[in-house]
Structure 1
Amino acid sequence: MQRVAERVARGAGVGEARSLMGALYRNVEARGDEVALASKVGDEWRGISYADLWRRVGDFAAGLSSLGVGSGAKVAIICGNRPEWAVADLAAQGLGAATVPVYPTLGTDQIGHILADSGAVVAVVEDEELLERVAGLRDVLPGLRHVLIIEGDPGDRAVAFRDVEERGADEPLLDPDGWRALDRDDIATIIYTSGTTGRPKGVVLTHGNFLSNVEGIRRALPFRPDDVFLSLLPLSHVFERCGQYLALSLGAATYYAESIQQVPENLREVRPTVVLSVPRLYEKMRDRILAQVAEASAPRRRLFERAIAAGRKRYAAGREGRRLGAGERALLRACDRLVFRKVREAFGGRLRFFVSGGAKLEGEIGEFFYAAGVTIIEGYGLTETSPVVACNRLPVPKFGTVGTVLDHTEVRVSGEGEVQVRGPGVMRGYWNAPEAARGAFTPDGWYRTGDLGELDGEGFLKITDRLKNLIVLSTGKNVAPQPVESAIVASPLVSQAVVLGDGRKYVSALIVPDYDAVRRELGTEAPNEELADDGRCRRLIEAEVERTCGRFAGYERPKKISLLGRELTHEAGELTPTLKVKSRVVAERYAEEIQGLYS
């Protein structure tokens, strides 16, 4: 029997809905006229009410049924965030089919693997470019019967999405209430993990997996029916997908951001109350605020610094359960009026909190925003846990941790330090991969996350790194790279960091500076590639690495660094959709630079 740490966190409680369609239908009845989903068309935000969403889902379900889609079928969705994504997802589920989300940014061979492995009979694509790629795979996908295109000319290779919907409206289902037969054990989706290495595996998630997660989240945080969500992450990712189900279960509104580049503008237009995103967005937001402060007058810079210091005192007092003195409260009111209100206005002016997931949020980032009156709630989960396992709570999160475990979920830490999970949110298994599924669980039935972590005396879970990411130096020392990388990128002068050293004598790092910040610091207009070779830039970044890594043991600190001239990107295949580094790709692409660190 595997040795297990003594501390175990647990909770309890479930709801009544039997399917995701049932959770939606309650709000169709109660909030039919309220906005469910909205997207920007031209310069105008156009909303779909709950009643209209339900009608469109029913029509599209009837249209899919006429194409032969029924219980047990697989429907792939290869599309960016838009209302049709939700319509296709829910319509297929209402027929007892399972949806297979596919990132539209994936290569053709990866798309082909997912469609073939899942056995998709229908693929919904967004545009002609994606249609071209999928159509080119038809010869090797004999099970793919139909391709539906949302916008663009279907030609003779596809069927228009709107035509399928209109056909369903003309010929409705004989049993429009057939979705009521769905149960929590029925499969809702198969999500292929993006992964940082190897072939993606199809994670089988049921209606009950998602419902238990939504119920646990609603008990943990004060979401409301009048909340407005701004959707930023791809719906192909489980984090955003669960966020959409959460909003639909509440009767809240979800607005789809136009793009990551348009987020600042969309925040001001939509004025959301809740935003879910990955830490990279919050790091960029913090850096943008600091850049604006750096360009302000000296008195304004001092005022901002004093305001942040006062806000940090408020955070410390909140964590310690003590009340600030009258003078400190007065100072905070003045800081709020003069400084922090402007920060909140940049986020739309009515934001209640951000939610962070998908990767580790550096505690410094959380504290910075909390000091400015903007709360970030960090959580933790995986595709295989549909996804949330733990999250922080209001009013005062514990930054540096991912919070406490959701109700009806159990977490334990093995003797080797691995976080293991048991509960109704844990996946059914991996599609077509029974051996991999068996290997994902302990003999006594706990899901092995592959993450290293610990539970503190208050029951807060802290994730330190991925088990497979551990760097073993030739000296025998073990280094967890994630905490070191997170510390380095907390510097306003650093954009990205990849810590290396497995099998070597010492740790090194590939670093992408925040070149705009470096240019301001050095008073230069030099391009990125030139700065990467500039000794002044190197000395600046080396000093930041030394400063930010001071709390780590000597063998954990990077001894040498190499500066990259551009950011690692998802489009270049170097990052996953949630912006985790694909170590193998980076190691291959920058082999020469890495070799130079050890020559």
Structure 2
Amino acid sequence: MSDTQTLIENRPPTVAALFLERVAATPDAEAYRFPVPAAGGEGPDEWKSLSWGQAAERVFAIAAGLVDLGLASEQRVALASGTRVEWILADLGVMCAGGAVTTIYPSTNAEESAYILADSDSHVLIAEDASQLAKARERRADLPTLSRVVVMESADAIAAEGDPEGWVLSLADLEARGREYLAKNPEAVKERIGAITADQLATLIYTSGTTGRPKGVRLPHDNWSYMAKATVATGMITSEDVQYLWLPLAHVFGKVLTSGQIEVGHVTAVDGRIDKIIENLPVVQPTYMAAVPRIFEKVYNGVAAKARAGGGAKYKIFQWSVGVAREYAKVTQDNYRRTGNATAPFGLTTKHKIADALVYSKLREAFGGRLRAAVSGASALAPEIGYFFSGAGINILEGYGLTESSAASFVNPGEAYRTGTVGKPLPGTEVRIADDGEILLRGPGIMQGYHGQPEKTAEVLEPDGWLHTGDIGELSPDGYLRITDRKKDLIKTSGGKYVAPAEIEGQFKAICPYVSSIVVHGADRNFCSALIALDGPSILVWAAENGLEGKTYAEIVAAPETNRMVETYVQTLNAGLQRWQTVKQFRLLPRDLDVEHGDLTPSLKLKRPVVEREFKHLIEEMYAGTREA
């Protein structure tokens, strides 16, 4: 048996047990960094730290406080908060108490929050602030089992008229209660941890979904223990790393990152404020971070817009450097695959060194200067954007997984990564491709099923453990997986041709520096069309250079000049497509797509049915006057 197999097969039953091991091994080592805003909001944030021992004190206090409130084994505690260090401490506290965490995105409205709280049968809600408390209070009549709301922000933990006595308390109050409980029962939390079994429910994550009510995915403790061991077994992270964690912890991707960190013991800097990412990176100087493709697309568009604003010469240098980066990445990756050495010809290497001095080094500095790798997941990254970052010295390691598979089923392996693929399966995970191209997965990371929905579970989970992912993919002879599309998203035109919209959308994002989102349509139509949303900051720069300065976003996208500009990029796209894939018509959307309007999930995945429904009039306009087969 290999060392990797031994590591995984001899894993402890729970992450709570792993946490105890980590605290015992390195109690004084730094575990978490987190920002504290300056007084009055003036000046930069002050970053503070918690050692593993200090974190354990708070985690045990939260766990004991919940036990004192009467939390029973597997009873649900909901967490409605943005990404912050208290989220991690609360999550660990619930698990160490033997309870199960139900995650709720802070952007979720009151109606859907109430649905999740009721469907999960949550007894306690840990809410970030007054706004999350207000949602629970608004629907309290529909939540008879919700006995307490614990508020992270102490100043917001204020009872209102009509609240049951003791219904609202602060996280500080809960921790104080826990410390008192531990003073009388010092072994209570460790006893709870020792009683947890591998198959006991740890996390109930509701898929944000692109249609219908979200489904609760039941993930037992063993899933997270496996993920902790398997991600570290890939060699992707070490104890010397510094992770910058901003992803939503309500999402399964974020949860995996916290589990792997406990196993290896590196530092994690936690701050979920997306508007602070650019400011934080030079301060944190991470060695690795995880993100979703939309972030890399926005960085790419932002760099391109800045270069264009610097004048024609500067923009030409940028465009040249982009071409060099892509060529260099493709050549070095190909050589590594064939020979094990990431080399390039002398001429290309010389050009790359010049481009590095002019462009790439500045890009790396913007990421903090020490970024060894960035992990991308949740949806596909356009390969040409991936090649650009790779050639610029920022290796984006795409991974793949579902909420139903505890997020991380595949990841690109370090230096042997291949842009355009999601890498190889994690140790212990099996994969096969069904006759229709669907990816099937089996292994210790697969869910128990959907909460209270055995029929829905049976639709995707076979009795022998194979999970139907709903994604279409191809495996290379040496085990690298390439995702081609969502099974349900494949378009069949009225001419009988199949089109993968995500592939076309990815190509367009690599070609057009002004696009934010694109939705390719064409099911049962006689040609493909597209709805295109432009990136606000980038298009404002372009507008200022093209006689549209001072115009609003809606006015800019409605201008004929903008339409003509986008048309040139669509023509470039079409030149590289098969005839039946080409985009014959497009319309620019009057606003960008976002989470607030329901166009994107909280993890920034596109909700095609929502977008197509809202902008149906534009779709029909594109096909008006054409003969449908």
Pairing of 1:167-566 with structure 2 (within 5 A): 167-172=177-182, 173=185, 174-178=187-191, 179-296=193-310, 300-321=314-335, 323-326=343-346, 328-442=348-462, 444-490=464-510, 491-514=512-535, 515-516=539-540, 518-519=542-543, 522-525=546-549, 526-566=551-591
AA partner of residue 36 (structure 1): A
Contact 2:82-2:272 at 8 Å conserved across structures: no
Deviation by residue 1:547-582 (Cα, 9 ceiling, x = unmatched): 124332222222111111211110121110121122
Aligned partner (choices 151, 155, 158) of residue 159 of structure 2 = 155
Preserved CA contact (<8 Å) 1:309 1:371 = no
> Which has the higher mean CA deviation after the structures are superposed, 41-50 or 347-356?
41-50
Instruction: Return the alpha-carbon distance in structure 2 between the equivalents of residues 216 and 586 of structure 1.
Output: 37
Matched, 1:79 2:56: no
Higher relative contact order (CA 8 A, sep 6+): 1
- How far, CA to CA, are the matches of 1:138 and 1:325 in structure 2? 67
1:37 is aligned, of 32, 37, 55, to 32
Cα distance in structure 2, aligned partners of 1:575 and 1:359:
12
- Consecutive unaligned residues in structure 2, runs of 5 or more: 38-44, 336-340, 625-629
User: Secondary structure in 2 aligned to 1:123?
Assistant: strand
Cα RMSD after superposing both structures:
1.9
2:441–2:469 contact (8 Å) kept in structure 1: yes
Q: Summarize the Cα distance change of 1:499–1:297 in structure 2 as closer, same or farther, 3 Å threshold.
A: closer
> How many angstroms apart in 2 are the aligned matches of 1:400 and 1:319?
11
Equivalents in 1 of 2:322, 2:141: separation in Å?
Answer: 60
Q: CA deviation at 1:68?
A: 0.8
- 1:47 maps to which of 41, 46, 49: 49
Distance 1:549 1:378, change over 3 A: farther
Q: What do the CA deviations read for 1:429-464 (whole angstroms, capped 9, x no partner)?
A: 111011111111245431000001111233211111
Indicate the residue corresponding to 2:627 in structure 1: none
Q: What secondary structure, in the 3-state scheme, does the structure 1 residue paired with 2:602 have? A: coil
Post-superposition shift, 1:30? 2.3
* TM-score normalised to structure 2 length: 0.90
Secondary structure of the corresponding residue to residue 91 of structure 1: helix
Which protein has the bigger helix share?
2
Q: 1:79 to 1:31 in 2, by over 3 A?
A: same
- Tell me, which stretches of 5 or more residues in structure 1 are unaligned? 1-10
CA change 1:331–1:554 in 2 (3 A) is: closer
Q: Deviations over 1:33-89 (max 9, x none)?
A: 222222211121121111111010111111111111021210000111112211211
Change (3 A) 1:511 1:28: same
- Alignment counterpart, residue 72 of structure 2, candidates 70, 73, 77: 70
For 1:331 and 1:581, the matched residues in 2 are separated by: 38
Distance in 2 (alpha carbons) for counterparts of 1:121 and 1:397: 44
Encode CA deviations 1:376-413: one digit per residue, 9 max, x unaligned. 10001000000111111221421111111111111111
Q: TM-score, normalised to structure 1's length?
A: 0.94
Q: How far apart, CA to CA, are the structure 2 residues paired with 1:532 and 1:315?
A: 34
Q: Secondary structure of 2:583's partner?
A: coil
Q: Once the 2 structures are TM-superposed, how far is the Cα of residue 290 of structure 1 from its aligned partner?
A: 1.5
Query: Which residue identity does 2:543 align to in structure 1?
Result: R
Instruction: Return the alpha-carbon distance in structure 2 between the equivalents of residues 206 and 122 of structure 1.
Output: 19
User: In the alignment, is the contact (CA less than 8 A) between 1:315 and 1:396 conserved in 2?
Assistant: no
SS at match of 2:149: strand
Over 3 Å counting, the alpha-carbon distance change for 1:163 and 1:219 in structure 2 is: same
Report if the CA contact (8 A) 1:441-1:447 is conserved. yes
C-alpha deviations, 1:305-364, integer Å up to 9, x for none? 454444434323322326334554455444434432211111111111111000001111
Q: CA separation in 2, counterparts of 1:27 and 1:592?
A: 57
1:85-122 deviation line (CA, Å, top 9, x unaligned): 11211111112111001011111111111111111010
Cα deviation per residue 1:518-572 (whole Å; 9 max; x = unaligned)?
A: 4256353132212222222112112212212433222222211111121111012
For 1:232 and 1:594, the matched residues in 2 are separated by 36
Deviations 1:474-498 (A, max 9, x none): 2222222111111122221211101
Distance 2:394 2:441 in 1: 31
Equivalent residues of 1:391, 1:404 under 8 A apart = yes
Partner of 1:567: 592
Alpha-carbon spacing, 1:201–1:267, altered in 2? closer, same or farther (3 Å): same
Q: 1:377 to 1:164 in 2, by over 3 A?
A: same
Letter in 2 for 1:519: A
Q: Aligned in 2, Cα 1:41/1:567: closer, same or farther, shift over 3 Å? A: same
Q: Which amino acid in 2 is paired with 1:238? A: V
Deviates more, 1:521-530 or 1:484-493: 521-530
Name the CA shift for 1:406/1:343 in 2 (closer, same or farther; >3 Å).
same
- Cα shift readout 1:278-319 (whole Å, capped 9, x = no counterpart): 000001111111122223355544544454444434323322
Following the alignment from structure 1 to structure 2, what is the Cα–Cα distance between the partners of residues 40 and 22?
28
Residue identity (%): 36
How many residue pairs align between the two structures? 589
Amino acid at match of 1:169: R
Give the stretch that moved more between structures: 578-587 or 199-208: 578-587
Which residue in 2 is equivalent to 1:3?
none
